[in-house]
């Protein structure tokens, strides 16, 4: 953190004390001891006054050496770094760049009068704001555009490694060979400007990524985030990874298209810091991961064996989002249910039958979507888990109240947030079960979920049935939500 600027008066006073000779700081021994060698009362007073003055001067000099000198040293270092950056020659521009930037010559802009620290913050803000741009697109990527505004901006941007510590590469589908030699050189220059800062890499390509990996490979040990979106053909480059991912904390692999591979990506199995993983279009059996260290997992599950491996091996998982694609017929009976004691948030899509052999005693947030049946399985799962569920989001087509009530009842005592969908058959029943006593403005003793503070009820009968809408409002349904 930069030191605060010292006040000028304090600095001048300290310099005056520093320049004063030591002989001016002491009292004459002859005057002090007198003629007979004895201290008079005046001598004692003078000595005490002088000692007090010297202690004040000493404190001032201590402050000068600990505050003023380091502050000045910091200023000098900053000036040296900035002036050294100014000496870096501007790169030769291509004809395309010259045509695009001819109206922006290398003259100082008015904003260049801002302190360099302010400009760096502005540049970071622009870079974060435009993260959707391909960072190798010199016409739109903020970092490249900034370096072509004026010499001062370029010097500040080039000498700020953190500005180049996040790179997004997106190959153009309209070009036969999108990763040309020029783009490869741009990527190398971009990475070199990031210094040794922790690096985030996003790579999206519908072509081969061998060249990309070759350039990125020396920088993988300092990567904290890796995000790959590739085709099945490009997986060969990931299968061949042998790097050490010493700093990797988040990994995302999205495969667009049908992939049938028997190989395993084993480069991430020893990543010591990996905690967050997203997989789409690829089985977890095709990628080696440090399951015992993971805290968050999002992905698609195609085999029941992968499902059981996830919950049995990843014992520290706290958050899981799963899109299940295997059929109930692929289940095999487990000798005993899987118990995961750390998981707090679960989002489940497409299939709920997989919950039959799972127990989550610490679950607090449960979201279900894209499911058309399975209410009994959900209720049994919640009862058997005995979890302190606080939030339940049933984003599924309105089930009959006979299925919905047991689900809510299984977590009624701890539930504070609930989202359900109803139709004309279950609306009135939901109203009666979740309503307040209008006279006393309190919950009825028989109502479900007495601790609810958030309630969202969606009407699935949104067809053009005006009579139903009118009758729905006559049920004082809005009144129930109002008192909630």
Please, what's the b/e burial string for 327-359 (b: 16 or more CB within 10 A of its CB; e: otherwise)? eeeeeeeeeeeeebeebbbbbbbbbbbbbbbbb
- Cα separation, 400 vs 374, in Å, equals 11
- Phi and psi, residue 164, nearest 5°: -110, 15
Q: What strands, in cross-sheet order, belong to the sheet with 250-255?
A: 166-170, 199-204, 223-230, 250-255, 276-280, 296-301, 319-324, 345-349, 365-369, 391-395, 417-422, 454-459
The answer to whether residue 396 sits within a structural domain is: yes
pLDDT value at residue 120: 82
The answer to whether residue 456 sits within a structural domain is: yes
pLDDT per residue as tens, the chain (484 positions): 445 555 656 655 665 655 555 455 555 545 555 555 566 777 777 777 777 777 777 777 777 677 667 766 677 677 677 667 666 666 666 666 666 555 545 455 566 677 778 888 888 887 776 666 677 777 777 778 888 777 778 888 888 888 888 888 887 655 666 777 888 888 888 888 888 889 899 888 888 888 888 888 889 999 999 999 888 877 878 877 877 888 999 999 998 876 656 778 888 888 899 999 999 888 888 888 999 999 999 998 888 888 889 999 999 999 999 988 876 655 666 778 889 999 999 998 877 788 888 899 999 999 988 776 667 788 889 999 999 999 999 888 888 888 888 888 888 889 988 888 888 777 778 777 776 554 444 444 446 778 888 888 887 665 434 443 333 444 444 444 444 4
User: Of the candidates 47, 70, 86, which is a domain's last residue?
Assistant: 86
User: Within 13 Å and on the Cβ side, how many CA atoms surround 410?
Assistant: 24
Q: Which residues pair with 458 in a beta bridge?
A: 421
Question: How many domains is the chain built from?
Answer: 2
Token duo for residue 413: 């005592």
Sign, CA torsion 184/190/196/198: negative
Looking only at the bridges linking them, the beta strands covering 296-301 and 166-170 are unpaired
- Cα separation, 472 vs 423, in Å, equals 10
The answer to whether residue 348 sits within a structural domain is: no
- Is 305 in contact with 324 (CB distance < 8 Å)? no
The answer to whether residue 231 sits within a structural domain is: no
- Cα separation, 307 vs 326, in Å, equals 10
Please, what's the b/e burial string for 298-323 (b: 16 or more CB within 10 A of its CB; e: otherwise)? bbbbbebebbbebbeebeebebbebb
User: Of the candidates 86, 106, 131, which is a domain's last residue?
Assistant: 86
Interacting residues of 457 by C-beta distance below 8 A, sequence separation 6+: 419, 420, 421, 422, 430, 477, 481
- Is 369 in contact with 396 (CB distance < 8 Å)? yes
The answer to whether residue 445 sits within a structural domain is: yes
In the three-class reduction of DSSP (H, G, I as helix; E, B as strand; rest coil), residue 322 is classed as: strand
pLDDT value at residue 472: 40
Domain membership of residue 470 as a residue range: 390-484
Helical packing angle, 375-385 and 401-409, nearest 10°: 10
Residue position matching structure tokens 């999108």: 178
Sign, CA torsion 149/151/157/161: positive
- Cα separation, 124 vs 128, in Å, equals 6
- Cα separation, 248 vs 238, in Å, equals 15
The answer to whether residue 241 sits within a structural domain is: no
In the three-class reduction of DSSP (H, G, I as helix; E, B as strand; rest coil), residue 135 is classed as: coil
Interacting residues of 324 by C-beta distance below 8 A, sequence separation 6+: 300, 301, 307, 348, 349, 350, 351, 354
Full-model pTM = 0.68
User: What letter would DSSP give residue 165?
Assistant: S
Instruction: Enumerate the H helices of 194-234 as residue ranges.
Output: 210-216
In the three-class reduction of DSSP (H, G, I as helix; E, B as strand; rest coil), residue 473 is classed as: helix
The answer to whether residue 355 sits within a structural domain is: no
The answer to whether residue 272 sits within a structural domain is: no
User: Of the candidates 58, 86, 114, which is a domain's last residue?
Assistant: 86
pLDDT value at residue 60: 72
């Amino acid at each position: 953190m930069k030191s605060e600027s010292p006040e000028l008066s304090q600095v001048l006073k300290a310099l005056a004390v520093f320049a004063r000779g030591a002989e001016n700081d002491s009292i004459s021994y002859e005057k002090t001891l007198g003629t007979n060698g004895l201290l008079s009362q005046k001598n004692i007073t003078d000595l005490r006054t002088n000692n007090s003055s010297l202690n004040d001067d000493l404190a001032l000099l201590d402050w000068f050496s600990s505050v003023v000198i380091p502050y000045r040293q910091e200023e000098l270092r900053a000036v040296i770094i900035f002036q050294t950056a100014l000496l870096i020659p501007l790169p030769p521009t291509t004809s395309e760049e010259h045509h695009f930037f001819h109206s922006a010559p290398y003259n100082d802009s008015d904003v260049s009068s801002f302190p360099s620290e302010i400009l760096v913050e502005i540049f970071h803000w622009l870079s974060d704001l435009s993260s959707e741009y391909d960072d190798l697109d010199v016409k739109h990527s903020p970092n490249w555009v900034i370096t072509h505004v004026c010499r001062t901006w370029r010097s500040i941007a080039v000498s700020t490694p953190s500005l180049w510590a996040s790179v997004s590469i997106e190959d153009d589908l309209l070009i036969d060979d999108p990763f040309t030699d020029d783009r490869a050189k741009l990527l190398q220059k971009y990475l070199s400007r990031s210094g040794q800062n922790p690096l985030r890499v996003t790579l999206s390509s519908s072509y081969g990524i061998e060249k990309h990996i070759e350039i990125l490979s020396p920088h993988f040990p300092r990567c904290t985030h890796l995000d790959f979106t590739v085709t099945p053909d490009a997986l060969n480059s990931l299968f061949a990874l042998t790097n050490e991912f010493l700093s990797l904390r988040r990994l995302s692999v999205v495969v667009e298209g049908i992939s049938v591979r028997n190989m395993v990506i084993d480069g991430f199995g020893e990543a010591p810091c990996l905690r967050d993983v997203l997989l789409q279009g690829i089985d977890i059996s095709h990628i080696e991961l440090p399951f015992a260290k993971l805290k968050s997992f999002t992905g698609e599950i195609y085999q029941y064996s992968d499902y059981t491996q996830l919950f049995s091996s990843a014992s520290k998982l706290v958050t899981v989002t799963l899109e299940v694609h295997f059929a109930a017929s692929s289940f095999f009976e487990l000798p005993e249910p899987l118990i995961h004691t750390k998981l707090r948030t679960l989002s489940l899509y497409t299939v709920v039958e997989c919950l039959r052999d799972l127990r989550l005693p610490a679950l607090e947030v449960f979201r279900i979507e894209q499911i058309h049946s399975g209410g009994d399985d959900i209720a049994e799962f919640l009862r058997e888990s005995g979890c302190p569920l606080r939030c339940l989001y049933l984003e599924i087509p309105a089930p009959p109240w006979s299925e919905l009530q047991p689900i809510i009842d299984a977590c009624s005592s701890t539930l504070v947030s609930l989202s359900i969908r109803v139709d004309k058959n279950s609306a009135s029943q939901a109203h009666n079960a979740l309503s307040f006593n209008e006279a006393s403005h309190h919950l009825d003793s028989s109502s479900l979920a007495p601790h609810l503070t958030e309630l969202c009820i969606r009407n699935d009968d949104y067809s053009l049935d005006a009579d139903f809408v009118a009758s729905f409002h006559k049920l004082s349904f809005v009144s129930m939500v109002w008192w909630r």
